[in-house]
């Protein structure tokens, strides 16, 4: 009998198939699936995985099921036989599941491409429908093991969908068609380059100002300062090229869109009539194919001739890899023959471009910082109607602010506002999927485009039919413009489906892969009230969790409350503390508790062991390797951590063991709240709490006896004496300018017998 896994394995042996491309996207190979099948557990029938506990939330249940599937062998059953056979193989019947899979594939063929045979992708889609098949179980386990995919009750249904086939063009024979198309394109390029009326710029570049004029661009909110700086640079006589430097997702391309809109509305008189063309180096090479040299010369000649063009080069660091091209650009840029707006990240600019000082000198740098939470809320609120109209949903009150705050806290590797847009887009998609509603805008557009593509294929089959082909291509371009205009529509409309805070939470959990804490679900005045309540209880909370150190915890709590309520220099960190005391008295534990209370998680604590930075050359690890050294461009351990979590508690453990140059770095942080990394990026420390710990004065307290957990200290030595002796040791060791910038020096006293009994009781209760 031919079962579902048999057809799956056999399809791997055929090259250039849709099923091969789809599975390959998730790194699912025949070898992996065969090994999984060989290690599978043969059983009579499968039992569903049920988690009966009512105490667990749905997220936790899914995680348990996910772990159970990925850690257990796949259960293999003998599929029930049917009375149907393949025409080419009438010796063995197919299973009932195989019959259902092929029935589904045939229906999909009739609906999508009735003139063709069954595409292999529809067989994969059929396997996704039949969740009890061996093939489905084999694929799903490997799918969960690849990347950061999470368990879903729908299994593969949401993975290999109809849209995959349409938008990724996962049809059989795609590679062969692409090869033939490439050869045809090469001949076409050769013909075009020999035509004196041909414009390479129009062929490879996108006119952003035309898009702005046609209403195809999303409205740009804020960024007035950055836009003005770019306008000034472009209007200058000399050095009229500009590069936008900022992390991915902060809105560099949006700034160019904003300038294009102003030009299209004639709001910038000095740039009136100018066109911004978006250009990509890969597009240039793809368009030229093997005619690179002739094409680049043609490109440069056009740029010299067209004085009204401003070239926007996204990912401009790619030019750093094309040395021959930048060498051609430099003299032209120096003479002002054409203007360029570039965009890239600071790390990529430093890695690939900064070494070419002659090229770098031609650019005015404009730093694009991540917007604040408040500014991002305004941006997202303005653009939100476009997402509402796309998904046919409405965002309930406070959901947008919640999305921004959760995106900032939980999507550590991403930047605002892009991360916030990702959350509201995902929330809209989730609600629409749960309501089983299709995006009619995409469906209607795709149907019309498919019809035009069929027309284009028929027209291309006729020789000397260039006029008809161009007319159809123009209609395709117009159709895309209409779609983008409708997609970016900011008209506020009312819809039945609503996006709630719970939907935002679900979208964040699915994206970040962690559970959102209930305390993070509050926004506005409710969040402010919770913050004030947490601060007012901070003294009691620290006293409850840090046993036997009431003086220390009171000092810390009072200093934090003063800073958090505005009684501090806003250009400095919230607080800088030096914790003194012997090992085991609770210095590090206090830092962890402080992190948990102020940021909501111990995981957010940035802890560095300063014994790892005793040598001078090791200090660079904190801010990143300098130019010319291995590791340049990757950033530093400390600076990268604070970039990811700018509101963290930073713990520098055993600070006295660090090299003196570390203290020089810390002076900059303590004074200005800023630390400049090796790439020239300024990292903001003004929202951090910095804690230094030290064992200085240990020998002065007691030379021959251990203290802390290991020993109950006698009362002969007063706390005042301990404080005086440790302070004397600190003042002898650290420079005055460093000590003067520490907000509070806190001495942790040795434990009494009563304190140790309390700690023991707490630990036993936790067990």
pLDDT in tens, 711-743: 444 444 556 676 777 788 888 888 888 888 888
Residue 109 pLDDT level (bands cut at 50, 70, 90): confident
Task: For 47-113, give the DSSP string.
Answer: -------SSS-HHHHHHHHHHHHHHSPPEE--PPEEEEEETTEEEEEEEHHHHHHHHHHHHHHHHH-
d(CA 683, CA 139): 44
Please check the confidence at residue 705 and state whether its pLDDT lies above 60.
no
Average confidence (pLDDT) over 329-337: 74
pLDDT of 713 reads 47
More confident residue, 147 or 372: 372
Average confidence (pLDDT) over 752-764: 65
- Please say whether the beta carbons of 134 and 5 come within 8 A: yes
More confident residue, 150 or 445: 150
Please check the confidence at residue 311 and state whether its pLDDT lies above 90.
no
More confident residue, 621 or 518: 621
- Please say whether the beta carbons of 313 and 352 come within 8 A: no
Least confident of 419-428, 576-585, 701-710: 701-710
- Mean pLDDT estimate for the chain: 80
Q: Phi/psi of residue 90, each to 5°?
A: -95, 10
Please check the confidence at residue 226 and state whether its pLDDT lies above 70.
yes
Please check the confidence at residue 601 and state whether its pLDDT lies above 60.
yes
Please check the confidence at residue 531 and state whether its pLDDT lies above 70.
no
Please check the confidence at residue 439 and state whether its pLDDT lies above 60.
no
- Please say whether the beta carbons of 612 and 636 come within 8 A: no
pLDDT of 707 reads 47
Please check the confidence at residue 704 and state whether its pLDDT lies above 50.
no
pLDDT of 35 reads 92
Counting beta carbons within 10 angstroms of the beta carbon of residue 756, is it exposed (0 to 12), middle (13 to 18) or buried (19 or more)?
A: middle
pLDDT of 488 reads 57
Average confidence (pLDDT) over 140-154: 84
Average confidence (pLDDT) over 308-313: 87
Residue 527 pLDDT level (bands cut at 50, 70, 90): low
The 3-state secondary structure of 485-525, one letter per residue? HHHCCCCCCCCCEEECHHHHHHHHHHHHCCCCCHHHHCCHH
Average confidence (pLDDT) over 49-73: 80
pLDDT of 542 reads 77
pLDDT of 708 reads 46
Residue 703 pLDDT level (bands cut at 50, 70, 90): very low
d(CA 438, CA 699): 73
| Residue from 211, 178, 236, 156 nearest 488 by CA | 211
pLDDT of 38 reads 92
- Please say whether the beta carbons of 701 and 576 come within 8 A: no
DSSP secondary structure code for residue 630 in this structure: T
Residue 242 pLDDT level (bands cut at 50, 70, 90): very high
- Please say whether the beta carbons of 234 and 338 come within 8 A: no
Please check the confidence at residue 52 and state whether its pLDDT lies above 60.
yes
Least confident of 139-153, 313-327, 747-761: 747-761
pLDDT of 712 reads 44
pLDDT of 73 reads 92
pLDDT of 437 reads 60
Least confident of 175-184, 339-348, 713-722, 742-751: 713-722
pLDDT of 484 reads 65
Least confident of 463-472, 580-589, 632-641: 463-472
Q: Phi/psi of residue 591, each to 5°?
A: -60, -40
Please check the confidence at residue 654 and state whether its pLDDT lies above 70.
yes
pLDDT of 423 reads 93
Please check the confidence at residue 45 and state whether its pLDDT lies above 80.
yes
Domains of the chain, first to last: 4-172 (no CATH), 190-369 (3.40.50.300), 374-512 (1.10.8.60), 522-766 (3.40.50.300)
Least confident of 21-25, 46-50, 221-225, 690-694: 46-50
Share of the chain above pLDDT 70, in %: 85
Least confident of 132-141, 477-486, 576-585: 477-486
- The listed range with the strongest mean pLDDT (107-111, 195-199, 471-475) is 107-111
Please check the confidence at residue 337 and state whether its pLDDT lies above 70.
no
d(CA 27, CA 8): 15
pLDDT of 409 reads 83
Please check the confidence at residue 19 and state whether its pLDDT lies above 70.
yes
Measure Cα distances from 685 to 95, 564, 639, 671, 720 in Å. Answer: 64, 14, 9, 10, 34
| Residue from 415, 482, 489 nearest 448 by CA | 482
Please check the confidence at residue 34 and state whether its pLDDT lies above 90.
yes
pLDDT in tens, 486-519: 655 556 667 778 888 889 999 999 888 888 887 7
């Amino acid at each position: 009998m031919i079962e579902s896994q048999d057809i799956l394995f056999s399809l791997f042996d055929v090259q250039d198939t849709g099923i091969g491309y789809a599975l390959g996207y998730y790194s699912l190979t025949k070898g992996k699936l065969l090994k999984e099948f060989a290690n599978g557990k043969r059983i009579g029938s499968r039992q569903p995985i049920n988690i009966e506990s009512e105490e667990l939330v749905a997220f936790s249940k899914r995680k348990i099921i996910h772990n159970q599937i990925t850690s257990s062998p796949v259960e293999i059953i003998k599929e029930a036989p049917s009375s149907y056979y393949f025409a080419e193989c009438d010796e063995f019947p197919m299973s009932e599941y195989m019959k259902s899979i092929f029935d589904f594939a045939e229906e999909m063929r009739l609906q999508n491409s009735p003139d063709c045979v069954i595409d292999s992708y529809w067989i994969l889609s059929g396997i996704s429908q039949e969740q009890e098949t061996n093939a489905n179980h084999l694929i799903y386990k490997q799918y969960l093991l690849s990347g950061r995919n999470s368990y879903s009750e729908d299994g593969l249904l949401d993975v290999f969908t109809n849209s995959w086939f349409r938008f990724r063009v996962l049809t059989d024979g795609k590679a062969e068609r692409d090869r033939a198309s490439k050869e045809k394109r090469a001949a076409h390029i050769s013909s075009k380059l020999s035509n004196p009326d041909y414009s390479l710029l129009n062929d490879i570049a996108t006119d952003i100002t035309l898009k702005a004029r046609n209403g195809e661009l999303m409205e740009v909110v804020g960024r007035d300062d950055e836009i003005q700086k770019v306008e000034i640079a472009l209007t200058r006589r000399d050095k009229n090229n500009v590069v936008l430097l900022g992390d991915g997702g902060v809105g560099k391309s949006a700034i160019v869109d904003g300038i294009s809109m102003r030009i299209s509305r004639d709001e910038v008189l000095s740039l009136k009539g100018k066109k911004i063309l978006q250009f990509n180096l890969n597009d240039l090479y793809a368009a030229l194919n093997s005619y690179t040299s002739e094409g680049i010369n043609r490109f440069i000649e056009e740029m010299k001739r067209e004085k009204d063009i401003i070239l926007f080069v996204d990912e401009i660091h790619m030019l750093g890899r094309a040395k021959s091209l930048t060498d051609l650009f430099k003299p032209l840029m120096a003479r002002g023959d054409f203007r360029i707006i570039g965009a890239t990240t600071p790390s990529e600019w430093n890695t690939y471009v900064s070494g070419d000082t002659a090229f770098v000198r031609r650019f005015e740098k404009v730093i694009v910082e991540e917007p604040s939470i408040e500014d991002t809320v305004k941006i997202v609120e303005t653009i939100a109607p476009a997402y509402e109209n796309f998904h046919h949903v409405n965002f309930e009150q406070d959901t947008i602010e919640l999305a921004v705050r959760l995106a900032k806290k939980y999507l550590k590797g991403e930047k605002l506002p892009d991360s916030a847009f990702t959350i509201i887009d995902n929330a809209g998609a989730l609600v629409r999927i749960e309501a089983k509603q299709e995006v009619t805008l995409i469906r209607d557009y795709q149907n019309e485009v498919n019809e035009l593509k069929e027309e284009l294929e028929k027209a291309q089959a006729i020789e000397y039919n260039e006029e008809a082909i161009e007319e159809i291509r123009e209609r395709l371009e117009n159709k895309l413009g209409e779609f983008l205009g409708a997609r970016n529509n900011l008209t506020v409309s009312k819809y039945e489906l609503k996006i709630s805070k719970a939907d935002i939470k679900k979208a964040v959990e699915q994206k970040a892969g962690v559970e959102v804490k209930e305390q993070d679900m509050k926004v506005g005045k409710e969040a402010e009230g919770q913050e004030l309540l947490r601060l007012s209880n901070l003294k009691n909370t620290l006293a409850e969790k840090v046993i036997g150190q009431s003086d220390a915890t009171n000092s810390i709590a009072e200093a934090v409350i003063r800073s958090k309520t505005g009684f501090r220099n806003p250009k400095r960190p919230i607080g800088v503390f030096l914790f003194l005391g012997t090992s085991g008295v609770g210095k590090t534990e206090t830092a962890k508790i402080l992190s948990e209370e102020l940021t909501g998680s111990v995981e957010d604590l940035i802890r560095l062991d300063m014994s790892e930075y005793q040598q001078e050359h090791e200090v660079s690890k904190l801010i990143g390797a300098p130019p010319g050294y291995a590791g340049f461009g990757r950033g530093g351990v400390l600076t990268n951590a604070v970039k990811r979590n700018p509101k963290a508690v930073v713990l520098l453990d055993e600070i006295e063991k660090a090299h003196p140059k570390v203290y020089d770095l810390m002076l900059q942080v303590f004074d200005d709240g800023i630390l400049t990394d090796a790439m020239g990026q300024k990292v903001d420390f003004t929202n951090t709490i910095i804690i230094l710990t030290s064992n200085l004065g240990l020998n002065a307290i007691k030379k021959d006896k251990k203290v802390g957990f290991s020993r109950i200290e006698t009362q002969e030595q007063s706390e005042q004496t301990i404080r005086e002796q440790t302070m004397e040791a600190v003042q002898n060791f650290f420079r005055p300018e460093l000590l003067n910038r520490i907000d509070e020096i806190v001495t942790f006293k040795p434990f009494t017998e009563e304190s140790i009994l309390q700690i023991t009781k707490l630990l036993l209760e936790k067990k």
